[in-house]
Structure 1
Amino acid sequence: MPDNPMLDTPMPDAPMPDAAAFATRLLRDEARGLLTRLDQVRPFALHETMVLAAALPYGAHVTIERFLHAARGHLRARVYAYLHWLDGIGSRATAAEQQRRFVLIRLEFNAVLSQFDLFTEVITQRSEHGTGVWLSGLDVLAADALRVDVAGYEPPPVVCYLARGPGAAIRRARTRLPGGRPNPVAIIRVPRERMVGGSVASSLIHEVGHECSAQLGLVESMRRDIAAAARRHPGGRGQGGSWPAWHAWIGEILADCFAVGRLGIAGTVGLLAVVSLPAYFVFRPSGDDPHPVPYLRVLISAGIGEALYPHPQWAALRRAWKDLYPLGELPAERVAQLRRIEADIPELVDLLLSHSPAALGGRRLGDMFDAGRRTPQRLLHLHRQWAGDVGVLARRSPSLVFAVLGQAKAADLISPERESRMLSTLLAAWAVRSSLDVVQNTSRTRAPALQPTGWS
């Protein structure tokens, strides 16, 4: 076969670009490529599938979409401004300056992706069969628990999702997200192992307590009261270790107080389930950990419950906890320290429930929980009155329903299996009712439309 003359002809070398121009072109291409990737970050309403009952609360969903829309719009504007600069006076800047400006934009792009991924984790679970509807029901429970009768208090939107591990957590509203922007909603991570049982409410409302405490400034005001009490009693028992411990642990103690205040004994029993760990961890000194030593934490929760809702059940619960974790095998010094702090629990509980910060307008913290309507006797009366009728329970306050069922289980009136079946049904009922309320309300009043730019 004859040789192909085209193959024998040497190709001319491509001209080597000027180094500065080459760097500028690289950065221009990267910026334009970033825009194409940003366009792939679409609103959740366009790519998440879920049944209506599993949807996020309408206010939370709109707030999240607007938050992410604003972030994408701001980033897009920065990229276009950079390209305009690069094609103008920036073309005369050094390559290092061009790179410095682009890197800052790229960091912001990754922050936007981190924000998107955070909310994706929350929303994607709504497509799981069963789980999505339960989560929507937990949203209703969290919103109910967040309501506090305090002038000027505006509870933020709240959404829930499941995660591995025994403990719950919250990313509070208005705290900083990656990139520095404030979080538009409260996000509560619920332990998957709690689903579905009464203790899920204890974990969830504990996290709600963190949100309420932050909104009302309770941690700071309680620490001032603790410091003042320590000064008034410099030679008292607190000098032996209690006052510094209360000061370090008060954020978690306040959150536990909300759980017991809303749920009664179900709050403490749920906590007991979470901190039931090998004995080493139950007695281990907490060091810098803001959580109380688990052994003491259950006793503090029971002390709060007994002060709010007096009943012999609290003494029985304390005895059961001590039987589960006897002190006998601990070193004598550690036993003495734990008993010394335990002896101060009533003093702490009194200080906590009588706390009257400015945010409460003269009321005490203990007055927030309407304790007269959630006594064990009242909860058991409601249990008998409602007679397990899910139609009746579904129309009641979710936190009250969890308190009633928790009290009934503590009194051995319902089994764990029946409690789980009832709660699964109720979570679905609250989710359906919430979604239908949204449909009804939005059919009357249309929300202001978003103004998208591309797929923003």
Structure 2
Amino acid sequence: MTEPAQDRQTESELAHWRLAVDALADLDVIAAPEAWQALEDYLQRRVRDRLSEVVSVLIAEGKALQRKLGAGGDPAEVRQAVLRLRTRYLQVETILDFYGDAVNSRTNPALRGLLRGYDTLAGDSMAAVLNRLGIESPPALVYLDRGLGAAILRAGIRLWDHSHPSPAAAIKLTRHNLAYPTALLHETGHQMAALTGWNTELAEALAAELEPRSAELAGLWRGWAGEIAADVHAFAQAGWAPVAALANVVDGPTPSVFRIRFADPHPYPFLRVMFNAALCRSWFGAGPWDDLAEVWRRRHPLAAAGGEMAALTRACLDALPDVVDVCTRRPMAAFGGAPLSALLDPRRVSPAALRSLARQAGPSLLTSAYLRRREPLRILAYLSTGAVLEPAAAADHQARLLAWVTDVGADAAPRTYHHAA
């Protein structure tokens, strides 16, 4: 092939990818304008501005390549740069599609109001700790997806080029848990623990506490610290409601609930449920979490785990009181030298405390805008246990919870649509 033909081919390829990059700049193609409008103003501006900034960098890169090619730059170097542009385009497209799908889930008016309420509650959850520590709390963007478990793309995570942090805490709620939403508080716990540095500190504290018992236990709990931190955060904000929702998600055949999966940061299901029940028992005494734990012991007897796994599980169960104390009562540098319970007192979300809140509020618990802003997480905790305690009336409890969350969203509804360039 002649040199001019090579140059023309390279120029053609560059034109292809520049056009593709330019098309990404129209964010109203990524998500419908009415879906963007459904976001709270600050969140909308932050997400749109960050995504526009990411695309602008790619546009500038394409223009620079065009200038280099026009100035007679080395065709081989330009071609390699075009291939890099293609790779970066695909990375940017993936990020935009991710946020576009999340935003587009709000085109349905009913779901729009509900997700906006969950945005607000997720923001309240993170701010409860971060604001007290002088750390800026990121906005939350909650979206709905399939599957069993929730997930989070943390705000501040550096994207592919290490210069554009993710603009929001993007939290996936699963459809089956829409009315059992305490997984939301687990995911916000991941964001809080990352911003405060608690993950690393908790990992070392757990390992140091358990090392005298067993090096194996110390290593396992160190590896599980990130998920343990998120579970503890959800417990401290919602009491016993998260353990009931968790048990529904992680249950399965007995061999699977005792299986330690390679590279899985979660404790295996049996132990995770028992740990969450132990949190409740330590702070609240006896309660429905004990019934749940007993059902699990009968449904998944230790004898069925096998010799080594049964022995490991017994050792883990024996250590649970110490693990709970480390997680909730041990002073941590991440929290300014205080324990987590000094910032999030679990006693405020005990069943007795939540019943007292509901009794004092009366009918206004579900209607008062003042209470929605003053006690949002405690009301969420109270409403999240209704269907568990009264399964025969689960549909009524679900309707009340979803209506209340939608009212939270209405309080935060944007007034105008800001189109960020």
Q: Same fold (TM over 0.5)?
A: yes
1:151 alignment partner, one of 106, 130, 133: 133
Distance 1:383 1:109 in 2: 52
SS in 2 for 1:391: coil
Contact 1:174 1:183 in 2 (8 A): yes
**Aligned match of 1:246:** 221
**Aligned match of 1:420:** 398
Letter in 1 for 2:358: H
Pair 1:56–1:397, CA change in 2 (3 A) = farther
Is 1:87–2:70 an aligned residue pair? Answer: yes
When structure 1 is superposed on structure 2, of 25-34 and 375-384 the one drifting more is 25-34
Letter in 2 for 1:79: G
CA displacement at 1:291 relative to structure 2: 0.6
CA displacement at 1:45 relative to structure 2: 4.9
**Aligned match of 1:353:** 328
Letter in 2 for 1:48: A
Structure 1 segment 200-219 matched on structure 2, within 5 A:
200=181, 202-219=182-199
Contact 2:254 2:305 in 1 (8 A): no
Contact 2:329 2:341 in 1 (8 A): yes
Structure 1 segment 42-441 matched on structure 2, within 5 A:
42-45=25-28, 48-50=32-34, 55-90=38-73, 93=74, 95-147=75-127, 148=129, 149-180=131-162, 181-195=164-178, 197=179, 199-200=180-181, 202-230=182-210, 233=212, 236=213, 238-239=214-215, 241-389=216-364, 390-392=366-368, 394-409=372-387, 411-412=389-390, 415-435=393-413, 438-439=414-415
Contact 1:303 1:345 in 2 (8 A): yes
CA displacement at 1:211 relative to structure 2: 0.7
Pair 1:397–1:51, CA change in 2 (3 A) = farther
When structure 1 is superposed on structure 2, of 210-219 and 389-398 the one drifting more is 389-398
CA displacement at 1:249 relative to structure 2: 1.0
Distance 1:317 1:330 in 2: 19
Larger-gyration structure (1/2)? 1
CA displacement at 1:420 relative to structure 2: 0.6
TM-score (norm 2): 0.90
Letter in 1 for 2:380: F
Distance 1:116 1:264 in 2: 36
Distance 1:37 1:337 in 2: 55
TM-score (norm 1): 0.84
Distance 1:193 1:312 in 2: 25
SS in 2 for 1:127: coil
CA displacement at 1:24 relative to structure 2: 1.3
1:267-297 C-alpha deviation (Å, 9 max, x unpaired) = 1111111112222211113343111011010
Contact 2:25 2:52 in 1 (8 A): no
Contact 2:207 2:221 in 1 (8 A): no
When structure 1 is superposed on structure 2, of 363-372 and 409-418 the one drifting more is 409-418
When structure 1 is superposed on structure 2, of 31-40 and 56-65 the one drifting more is 31-40
1:38-57 C-alpha deviation (Å, 9 max, x unpaired) = 332244357514378x8223
CA displacement at 1:109 relative to structure 2: 2.0
1:376-433 C-alpha deviation (Å, 9 max, x unpaired) = 2110122233345421364553321121123455554993112110122112211111
Contact 1:261 1:369 in 2 (8 A): yes
Is 1:40–2:23 an aligned residue pair? Answer: yes
Letter in 2 for 1:83: Q
1:279-332 C-alpha deviation (Å, 9 max, x unpaired) = 221111334311101101011111112223334344333223323323343334
Aligned residues: 414
- State the percentage of identical aligned residues: 27
Q: Which has the higher helix share?
A: 2
Distance 1:355 1:216 in 2: 15
Distance 1:379 1:322 in 2: 28
1:106-161 C-alpha deviation (Å, 9 max, x unpaired) = 22222221221111111111113522322222111111111114322111111111
Distance 2:372 2:28 in 1: 28
Pair 1:286–1:384, CA change in 2 (3 A) = same
Which sections of structure 2, spanning at least 5 residues, go unmatched? none
1:145-194 C-alpha deviation (Å, 9 max, x unpaired) = 11114322111111111121111111111223344432121111111111
CA displacement at 1:23 relative to structure 2: 1.5
Which sections of structure 1, spanning at least 5 residues, go unmatched? 1-17
Pair 1:230–1:301, CA change in 2 (3 A) = closer
Distance 2:299 2:265 in 1: 24
